[in-house]
Every structure is written in structure tokens, then in C-alpha cells.
């Protein structure tokens, strides 16, 4: 066993040098360095040796493995270089192609990943749900029955009226979550939503929500505001100016709206913020007891908070995008202003 690593190195160095194709080299690599390969089997064998001898042979095996990996890598580059045709004449510019341009992640994708990471660091899990939804999960389970006046606030796009629709809010995912999971839990979920909106600088008929739900004992507005403040500070900065306003949402009680000072006009008033100096970023509140009851959760034992953020506006604020239509405009050359 003492001379086995050196013998193995000479043997497989010779086989590597004789290999003439990438396929054969890969098969040899698997045979030698794979999970069930020669090197791993040798490591298993030395476990039976005395400690001092095992230590010495183990070091030699590590050196052997590194040398073989380097030899295989060098041989692979050589095979690729040999297999490529050599250019002997000047290229025909008429038939040549331009170099491929590398793209970048969409600002919405980047922001979703960043927010996901923030909430995962706070102990939240990630969840998802269908975009084609039923009236029950989009409205009724969220304390918005068919006769409720709040239905006039949302221009719903129906697939098959009155029960099949494109979800108007990511709260429909919350309805599935409350029904299927047992508390306590903290869950976040981004998603695309649809409303029959008039398209302008700050509104679109296709946009994105970022929803979060936490259900536990003794949850209060303090927990909700603290969570949102952490998100704002980590995504933007500690200097972001915010305000929370009392606001009505059927699925929460009490409810509130989250605003930030307009990033375009710095609070002076412009067309983006509709001359008020503030941009509404989402709604939130303590989950209504009836919403918990409909999901089979005892509101006497459990409490929860929920928030729904207008994700596109969060993206606009992060990248200083002045028109929400830019996000879905299809301009592949567009890059956000990341000043």
C-alpha cells in the first residue's frame, strides 16, 4: 500500500496522455475521480491502516488526486484546442456574426430576490399560489362577500364570470396558506396580479404584489410595523422617509397604508405621486378574526398580521424608474438608473 499512490499516478497519467476525445476523457475522469472511483476506494482502504501510516498515505492520496485533476483539466483544454478548426484565411465580414451580448436580470426579478433574502433572514418561509383563481379564495375567504361594497374598488378580470378570474391581489395566496398550514408560521410570497386599470405612470393592468403573513400568539401592530421598517431599511436605507396611515381593508382590522416620500420629486409634488408628495407602497393590518375563522383557525387563540406591497413601486423607488410602464415595455436594451 505504501507505494500504491505513486504507481496509480504513473498508470493514470499514461492513460490520460493517450486519451484522444472529450468523451473518453470524461469516462476516465469518472472512473478515477468519481464518487465510486479509484481514488475514493483507496481512501476507504486506508481506514484499515494504523494511525501514523494512515496519515502519511492519506496525504499522498490527496496529492495524487490533485495531480490527476490538474492533468485531466490540462488534457481537456488540449483536446478542445486541437478539435477547433484553425482559421487560415481572413474572415468574410459579410457572413460573420456579432458577439453575443450578455443580458441582466429584470429589475423586478432582482428586487424579488433581495426581498426574499431579507424575509428568509427574518425566519419567513416562501409560498406560492395560482394566478387563475376562484371568487371564493380571491374575495370570500378574505371577508369580501359578493354583496360587499369593497368589490367596487377592484376592476376584476373574469375568465368565467362570476367564479373564475385572474387574481386581483396576492392575498388569494394568503387564503390558501391559512387553509392549508397550521400556525404558528411566517410566510412571504411575491406574485403577478391583474386588474382592469387605466395604464399611466403609476398604474398598470398587470403588476406585482409582495404579500406577507405571520400567525402566532400575541401578535400586534408593533410586530407588523417593525417588520416593514426592517424591510425598508435593508432594501433602501435608514434615511427613507415613511408614514403609516389608518386605512380600511376588509381582510384586516385595524388596517393601515404604508407610504414613502416620493422619490421623484422629494415630496414637492409631481405627476408620479399625483401632486401629493407621497407614494402608496402597500396596505397592511391585523388579520380580521372572520378571515381566520373561515380558514379553521381559532381567533381566540391565534392572531396574525398581513401586508400586501405594490412590488412594482418598490422596484421603481429602488432604481429611480419614473414610469411603471417601463417595467413591462419590452425594451431589452433598457437598464435601470442605479445612481
Residues 6+ away with beta carbon under 8 Å from 48: none
For 338, half-sphere exposure in the C-beta direction (CA atoms, 13 angstrom radius) is: 7
Most confident of 19-28, 66-75, 90-99, 248-257: 248-257
271 with 155, same domain? yes
Alpha helices in the chain (DSSP H): 4-18, 22-33, 38-45, 51-83, 107-121, 135-138, 171-180, 221-235, 289-294, 311-319
Question: Comparing 34 with 159, which gets the higher pLDDT?
Answer: 159
C-alpha span between 145 and 136 (Å, rounded): 9
Domain ends where: 64, 81, 98? 81
Q: What does DSSP say about strands 206-216 and 242-246: parallel, antiparallel, or unpaired?
A: unpaired
For residue 68, the enclosing domain spans: 4-81
More confidently predicted of 172 and 19: 172
Half-sphere exposure of 334 (CA within 13 A, CB side): 14
pLDDT at 335: 60
pLDDT, residue 6, reads 65
Residue 233 has pLDDT above 50, yes or no: yes
Q: What is the DSSP letter of 152?
A: G
Distance CA 41, CA 325 (A): 60
Q: Are 15 and 28 in contact (CB under 8 A)?
A: yes
- Are 119 and 67 within one domain? no
Pair (38, 184) in one structural domain: no
pLDDT of residue 153: 61
Does residue 86 lie within any of the structural domains?
A: no
Among the listed ranges 51-60, 80-89, 149-158, which one has the minimum average pLDDT value? Answer: 80-89
* Cell 468519481 found at: 34
* pLDDT of res. 239: 80
Q: Is residue 336 part of a domain?
A: no
* Opening angle at CA 330, ends 327 and 334, nearest 5: 70
How far apart, in Å, do the first and last CA atoms of the chain sit? 63
Please state, in angstroms and rounded to a whole number, the distance separating the CA atoms of residues 230 and 236.
10
pLDDT at 30 (0 to 100): 82
For 139, the grid coordinates are 374575495
Q: Can you give the pLDDT at residue 254?
A: 94
Residues 73 and 123 in one domain: no
User: What is the pLDDT at residue 46?
Assistant: 74
Residue 338 has pLDDT above 70, yes or no: no
Please tell me the predicted confidence (pLDDT) of residue 34. 79
- Asked if 208 and 317 sit in the same domain, the reply is yes
**Within-domain flag for 87:** no
For residues 36 and 56, give the distance between their C-alpha atoms in angstroms, rounded to a whole number.
Answer: 23
> Are 115 and 181 members of one domain?
yes
Residues 158 and 302 both lie in one domain: yes
299: domain CATH number is 3.30.930.10
Whether residue 48 is predicted with pLDDT greater than 80 in this model: the reply is: no
pLDDT-derived band at 339 (thresholds 50, 70, 90) equals very low
Q: Are residues 196 and 300 in the same domain?
A: yes
Task: Tell me phi and psi for residue 332, to 5 degrees.
Answer: -70, -20
Whether 234 and 323 share a structural domain: yes
pLDDT tens sequence across 166-187: 998 899 999 999 999 999 999 9
Residues near 236 by beta carbon (within 8 Å), at least 6 away in sequence = 317, 318
Which residues contact residue 201 at a Cβ distance below 8 angstroms, ignoring those fewer than 6 apart? Answer: 271, 272, 322, 323, 324, 325
Q: Which residue has the higher pLDDT, 123 or 330?
A: 123
Residue 75: predicted pLDDT: 82
Shared domain check, 115 and 51: no
Check: pTM over 0.75? Answer yes or no: no
In the predicted model, is pLDDT for residue 295 greater than 80? Answer: yes
> Average pLDDT, stretch 302-328?
88
Question: Is 335 part of a structural domain of the chain?
Answer: no
The answer to the question of residue 88 being in a domain is: no
In a domain, 102, yes or no: no
pLDDT tens readout for residues 2-13? 456 667 777 878
Instruction: Tell me which of 209-213, 306-310, 333-337 is least confident.
Output: 333-337
Pick 203 or 130 by higher pLDDT.
Answer: 130
Who wins on pLDDT, 271 or 190? 190
Q: Is the CB of residue 311 less than 8 Å from the CB of residue 109?
A: no
Residue 49 has pLDDT above 90, yes or no: no
- Counting residues of the chain whose pLDDT is more than 70, the rounded percentage is 87
Residues 6 or more apart whose CB falls under 8 angstroms from that of 168 comprise 138, 154, 156, 157, 193, 194, 195
Nearest residue to 259 (alpha-carbon basis) of 270, 247, 248, 249: 247
Q: Is residue 93 part of a domain?
A: no
- Domain-located, residue 32: yes
| pLDDT number for residue 223 | 95
Structural domain count of the chain: 2
Percent of the chain whose pLDDT exceeds 90: 39
On whether both 143 and 226 belong to a single domain, the answer is: yes
Q: How confident is the model at residue 208 (pLDDT cuts 50, 70, 90)?
A: very high
Same domain, 123 and 227: yes
Amino acid at each position: 500500500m505504501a507505494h500504491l499512490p505513486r504507481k496509480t499516478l504513473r498508470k493514470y497519467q499514461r492513460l490520460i496522455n493517450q486519451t484522444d476525445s472529450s468523451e473518453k476523457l470524461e469516462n476516465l475522469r469518472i472512473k478515477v475521480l468519481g464518487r465510486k472511483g479509484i481514488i475514493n476506494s483507496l481512501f476507504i482502504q486506508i481506514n484499515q491502516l494504523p494511525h501514523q501510516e494512515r496519515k502519511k498515505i492519506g496525504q499522498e492520496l490527496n496529492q495524487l488526486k490533485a495531480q490527476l485533476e490538474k492533468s485531466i483539466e490540462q488534457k481537456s483544454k488540449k483536446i478542445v484546442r486541437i478539435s477547433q478548426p484553425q482559421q487560415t484565411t481572413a474572415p468574410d465580414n459579410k457572413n460573420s456574426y456579432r458577439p453575443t451580448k450578455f443580458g441582466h436580470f429584470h429589475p423586478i426579478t432582482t428586487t424579488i430576490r433581495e426581498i426574499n433574502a431579507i424575509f428568509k433572514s427574518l425566519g419567513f418561509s416562501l409560498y406560492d399560489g395560482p394566478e387563475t383563481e376562484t371568487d371564493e379564495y380571491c374575495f370570500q375567504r378574505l371577508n369580501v362577500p359578493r354583496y360587499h361594497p369593497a368589490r367596487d374598488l377592484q376592476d376584476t378580470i373574469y375568465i368565467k364570470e362570476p367564479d373564475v378570474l385572474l387574481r386581483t391581489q396576492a392575498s388569494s395566496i394568503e387564503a390558501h396558506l391559512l387553509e392549508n398550514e397550521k400556525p404558528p408560521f411566517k410566510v412571504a410570497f411575491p406574485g403577478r396580479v391583474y386588474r382592469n386599470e387605466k395604464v399611466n405612470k403609476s398604474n398598470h393592468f398587470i403588476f406585482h404584489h409582495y404579500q406577507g403573513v405571520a400567525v402566532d400568539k400575541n401578535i400586534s401592530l408593533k410586530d407588523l410595523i417593525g417588520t416593514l421598517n426592517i424591510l425598508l431599511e435593508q432594501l433602501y436605507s435608514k434615511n427613507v422617509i415613511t408614514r403609516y396611515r389608518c386605512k380600511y381593508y376588509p381582510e384586516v382590522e385595524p388596517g393601515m397604508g404604508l407610504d414613502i416620500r416620493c422619490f421623484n420629486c422629494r415630496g414637492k409634488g409631481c405627476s408620479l405621486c399625483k401632486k401629493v408628495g407621497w407614494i402608496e407602497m402597500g396596505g397592511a393590518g391585523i388579520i380580521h378574526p372572520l378571515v381566520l375563522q373561515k380558514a379553521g383557525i381559532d381567533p381566540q387563540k391565534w392572531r396574525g398580521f398581513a401586508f400586501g406591497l405594490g412590488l412594482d413601486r418598490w422596484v421603481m423607488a429602488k432604481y429611480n424608474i419614473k414610469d411603471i410602464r417601463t417595467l413591462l415595455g419590452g425594451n431589452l436594451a433598457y437598464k435601470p438608473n442605479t445612481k
